[in-house]
Chain A
Amino acid sequence: MTIAPARTAGAERDKDPAVIRSLIFVRDRGIFVLWALLLIAFSIWASPYFASVDNALLIANAAALTAIFAAGVAVGIICGALDLSIPGTAALASCVCGWLITHGTPTWVSIVAALVLGALVGAVNGLITLRGFNPIVVTIGTLSVMTGLASVIVGGYTVPGLDSLTFMGTQRYLGVPAPVWITAVLFVAITVFLTRTRDGIRMMAVGGNPEAVRRSGIHADRYKVVGFVISGFCAALGGLVTTALVTEANPAANASIIFNALTAVALAGVSLAGGRGSLPRVLVGALILGTISNALTIKGIQPYWGTAVTGVLLLGSLAIEKWVSTTVSRRLVQSAHASVHTGTR
């Protein structure tokens, strides 16, 4: 396979060679192809139960929670920090909301209070991190603090009977469960923010290379805090949806949500080094996890296999990612055509 001459005419130079474009496609869109393949395979394998609208909604609903937390984790990582306090923030938001509702506060006020609290926790995380501490250690610290506070607030017991929250839990609108709607809105909002707005683009740039942003005369630190705030908000939202689904608030932080979320994020090819990643891919990552466990359940296979298969997929995606980036850089060296066309000396 040879590269076509990179620059044959004026119009041609704005395009990359076809091989590189297809490699970039694999890197950026590969996970969509993977999901499509899984869907086709499972439709045949687990026919006729898998390929139905009801089952699709089931998968979407199951993936929604993972997706919400994954959005928080992804924004944190993209902005340059792994936020491990997410389960704690979720538990605290859920307990605060539950406590407020059982003490006679209107439901919507309680929800807003919990979400604002989540954002505040994020801001605190961010401000502590800016002092030069390692974000992982800082957020492990706040994880403990939040979990402890959540237990203190509700006295160590779960708060049951939060039926006024079912509108964002088990309720369906137009036949689609509430968590799916919430997830959809959240992902559209964050995706638009990260790719279309000045602050979002700068935030991603800060995750990739804070020094470059600083040297462009931009307050890089501010955007780091914004990343934590969004992450804290997502955590609180996830905590509320969890609470709404089971109509009780649980003060125990569930550490497994962070690992599920991280799996979805890693599957989506979001580099832990920061600065890159796309929310639609993260959503598909969460959907892939949901799809696999759903299909295995339909076929009556032990769910442990789902965990194992997911791990294999994750490692496979790493291998593909590596292969694509080395191939691309090799190809680019061959076809590099930086040129200065009318030299004066």
Chain B
Amino acid sequence: MTGNSGTAAQGPGFSAPSVGPGAGSSTALELRGIDMHYGYVRALDQIDIEVRQGEVLGLLGDNGAGKSTLLKVMSGAHQPTSGEIRVHGETSAFASPADSTHAGIQMVYQDLALVDAQDIATNLSLGREILRKGPLGWLGFVDHKAQRRRSTDELEKLGVRTAAMTRPVEMLSGGQRQVVALARGATRVSGLPGDDEKRGILLLDEPTAALGYEQTQQVQSLIRRLADRGVACVLVTHNLPLAVAVCDRIAVLNRGRKVADVPVADTDNDQLVGWITGARPSMFV
């Protein structure tokens, strides 16, 4: 998916049609004119950004550039001062993370948010437990076997192997934990009932921050695979090689402004570093 260079020329205020020529898929998440103020601090300044189904968008920027804030706006954890959010073309307002979850957006946090003492199946099933059939189910009894089966299936579909479903998460290595956290987000976005066309949106905050080389490779191909299944991914990272390897398009933020938005194929490390540090002028002035 490298033929969508049309988006690169987008400036602030330019409202492009949501489906660019040659992209072959519709816009999953679209943000227009997002402003975010903390008191006198302007954390985000007129951000326009969008991510298509099956696309991996990388968000790069130095510390304090606003990429985490932007991600939190997307996940509903923060409400923007002004601006518009559209999910699959529909204008949405997120009052809380629950709203964005409902709209099909899942966030994988840097701290993973796994329950250490519980096993993999329970972690993957939290909030969508399978109850037993019959009277025991009415009493709220959980069908552990069915949950394990479903979790195995889901991980298998993602093409991931970690460990026995009954293994407590605390006994997993860093990479395995990251894979479980990713899978938890992934199974929830791609498991949207009914509407196969509207695949979910996955927000990833530094998914490889704590990982070694090999584990980073694994997470990287998992993200790619999710995108190939139609999930729209937004990836916040400091890891430039990762971003270049896994993303279709990269947007760079600098002090709250978007200074670049280019297909990976049309850029290189030097350019990106230039935008990140501010040495290279913004594409949009």
Give the B-binding residues of A (Cβ under 8 A). Answer: 7, 13-16, 20, 24, 196-199, 201-202, 204-205, 208-209, 211-213, 215-218, 275-276, 328-329, 332-333, 336-345
Contacts and interface: CB of A to CB of B under 8 A. Distances in A.
A16 B163 CA distance: 7
Interface of B: 97-98, 101, 107, 109, 111, 113-118, 122-123, 126-127, 129, 131, 139-142, 144, 159-165, 167, 171-173, 175-176, 179, 215, 218, 221-222, 224-225, 228
Nearest to B102: A217
A318 B115 CA distance: 22
A197 B116 CA distance: 19
Nearest to A202: B126
Nearest to B130: A198
A344 B228 contact: yes
A212 B117 contact: no
Contacts of B164: 13-16
Contact of A197 (B97, B140, B161): B140
Given A198-B131, A199-B140, A337 B118 contact: no
Given A340-B221, A343-B221, 6 more contacts: A16-B167, A197-B141, A198-B131, A209-B115, A218-B127, A339-B161
20 contacts: A13-B164, A197-B142, A198-B140, A202-B126, A205-B126, A208-B116, A211-B111, A213-B115, A213-B126, A215-B97, A215-B107, A275-B115, A275-B118, A276-B116, A332-B171, A338-B160, A338-B162, A338-B218, A342-B159, A343-B225
B163 A212 contact: no
B117 A275 contact: yes
A275 B142 contact: no
B106 to A, nearest CB: 9
B177 to A, nearest CB: 9
Nearest to A336: B173
Contacts of A204: 115, 117-118
A213 B215 CA distance: 26
Contacts of A336: 172-173, 175-176
